[in-house]
Amino acid sequence: MMIGLVGAPNKGKSTIFSALTMLDVQIADYPFTTIKPNLGVTYATRQCVEKELGVKCRPRNGLCTNGIRQIPVNVVDIAGLVPGASIGKGMGNQFLNDMSMADVLVQVIDASGKTDMHGNASDSSDPAEEVTMLLDEMAQWLSTILERHMPGLSKKADGVHAVMDVLSSFNASEEQIKSAIRNANISDAYVSWGQESRMKFSIEFLRLNKPIIVAANKLDLCPAGTLERIRKKLPDYKVVGCSGAVDLAVRKAAKAGAIRYRSDEASFDTIGSVSEDQRKALDYMSEYLRKNKGTGVQELVNTAVFGTAMKIVVYPVENENKYTDHFGNVLPDALLLGNGSTALDMARVIHTDIAEHMLYAVDARTKNRLAKEYVLNDNDVIRIVSAAK
């Protein structure tokens, strides 16, 4: 899956991206630092099944530290969005086109209110207004796309599949299109929607296809109670408080060997030699982690993956007795699949040939045979039996 970091310029998106991926990207306190989208890999964290099964895993993808499995997730840092992007202002359509590749959007806002919607310094900006702006600009952009296709859509009786074809770059499901049309209370045959109907559909569709989590960033610069005030203004959104700057600094200190730290922890241990200035900085970061139960950045990823995208974790194995692959690696892979996925869906992720020739699956815990249509549960350990060579 792909997490998209979005929002107005100068809100800290690139800092959060750097913290999540530990990639060096341009970070500055002025608008449009990011021009082309930055792509990287981060990790969702979950309790591994190794302890339950009485084994020690040996991951091929990601890591497992002290029983916490780190599962790779793609992340993209997208150029900043400003009001009027749908008509080409700022990075305009480049932002909106890049956004379409993401499954879940994490909108980074400046919780301190010290930057306005254009990324310029401000003393009294309302960060909650940025969220309304993002959805409105995305909906305006999508409405314009639909408008261009209205002549063709109006000639087709099956409006659902016709709209699906138009929105193919969004990987839209039939159910998402149907639900958006139903929620907007508009026609699904010989589609000839006016501007109001297009906007209604666009808003409903984007809520389903591009759900938004709000990252209330720069929380270390905010007075007490800021996060609660933002949440009250955004009751329809999941709002996670965070500090990308603190998270990046802590991860860099860990990489340099000064501290021992794991991204899902709310504390760290100093293990290296540090100067007095470094000690003061570490004390500041330690206090922030203690008060906020972490930096909030890892919570963003886990919320996006397991909360909003509703992914489950499944472990494919080739030997259901030893929980290994054919190289002897224990619990080698942890796959993220959509809730409701079947054993056949899992086989497709592993390899198309395995799925095409799949016979059945085996539950590694119970050793019971499972049909291809078996609906997977979170933390299932599954062997796929296939006639593929």
pLDDT digits (tens, 9 = 90+) for 97-107: 777 789 999 99
Q: Is the pLDDT of residue 91 over 60?
A: no
Residue 22 lies in a domain: yes
DSSP assignment letter at 7: -
- The answer on 316 and 205 residing in a single domain is no
Cβ neighbours of residue 169 under 8 Å, at least 6 residues apart?
100
Q: pLDDT value at position 79? A: 72
- The answer on 346 and 216 residing in a single domain is no
Count of domains in the chain? 2
Q: How far apart are CA 260 and CA 270, in angstroms?
A: 6
Residue 344 lies in a domain: yes
Q: Is the pLDDT of residue 83 over 80?
A: no
- The answer on 197 and 88 residing in a single domain is yes
Instruction: Please say whether the beta carbons of 31 and 9 come within 8 A.
Output: yes
Q: pLDDT value at position 107? A: 95
Q: Is the pLDDT of residue 23 over 90?
A: no
What are the beta bridge partners of residue 240? 215
**Confidence band for 80, pLDDT divided at 50, 70 and 90:** low
- The answer on 330 and 205 residing in a single domain is no
Q: pLDDT value at position 89? A: 45
Phi, psi of 209 (to 5 degrees): -90, -30
What is the distance, to the nearest Å, from the Cα of residue 251 to the centroid of all Cα atoms in its chain? 20
Q: pLDDT value at position 93? A: 55
Within 261-370, strands assigned E span 269-270, 311-317, 335-338, 358-363, 369-370
- The answer on 134 and 15 residing in a single domain is yes
Residue 256 lies in a domain: no
Percent of the chain residues topping a pLDDT of 90: 72
- The answer on 161 and 31 residing in a single domain is yes
Q: How far apart are CA 198 and CA 196, in angstroms?
A: 5
- The answer on 12 and 161 residing in a single domain is yes
Least confidently predicted of 139-148, 325-334, 373-382: 139-148
Question: Tell me: the pLDDT tens digits for 189-219?
Answer: 999 999 999 999 999 999 999 999 999 999 9
- The answer on 158 and 21 residing in a single domain is yes
Instruction: Please say whether the beta carbons of 285 and 252 come within 8 A.
Output: no
Q: Give the CATH number for residue 343.
A: 3.10.20.30
Q: Give the CATH number for residue 22.
A: 1.10.8.470
Percent of the chain residues topping a pLDDT of 70: 92
Instruction: Please say whether the beta carbons of 362 and 372 come within 8 A.
Output: no
Residue 69 lies in a domain: no
Q: How far apart are CA 129 and CA 116, in angstroms?
A: 10
Question: Tell me: the pLDDT tens digits for 282-337?
Answer: 999 999 999 999 999 999 999 999 999 999 999 999 999 999 999 999 999 999 99
Residue 241 lies in a domain: no
- The answer on 141 and 11 residing in a single domain is yes
Average confidence score pLDDT of the chain:
90
Residue 46 lies in a domain: no
Enclosing domain of residue 344: 312-386
Closest CA to 345 of 370, 364, 318, 372: 372
- The answer on 209 and 325 residing in a single domain is no
Q: Which of 170, 188, 221 is the last residue of a domain?
A: 221
Please name the residue that has the structure tokens 């929105």: 167
Q: Is the pLDDT of residue 34 over 50?
A: no
Q: Which of 221, 241, 258 is the last residue of a domain?
A: 221
- The answer on 18 and 125 residing in a single domain is yes
Residue 208 lies in a domain: yes
More confident residue, 34 or 180: 180
- The answer on 321 and 213 residing in a single domain is no
Q: How far apart are CA 276 and CA 370, in angstroms?
A: 61
Instruction: Please say whether the beta carbons of 281 and 248 come within 8 A.
Output: no
Residue 157 lies in a domain: yes
Cβ neighbours of residue 194 under 8 Å, at least 6 residues apart?
none
Q: Which of 203, 221, 239 is the last residue of a domain?
A: 221
Report which residue type is found at 86: S
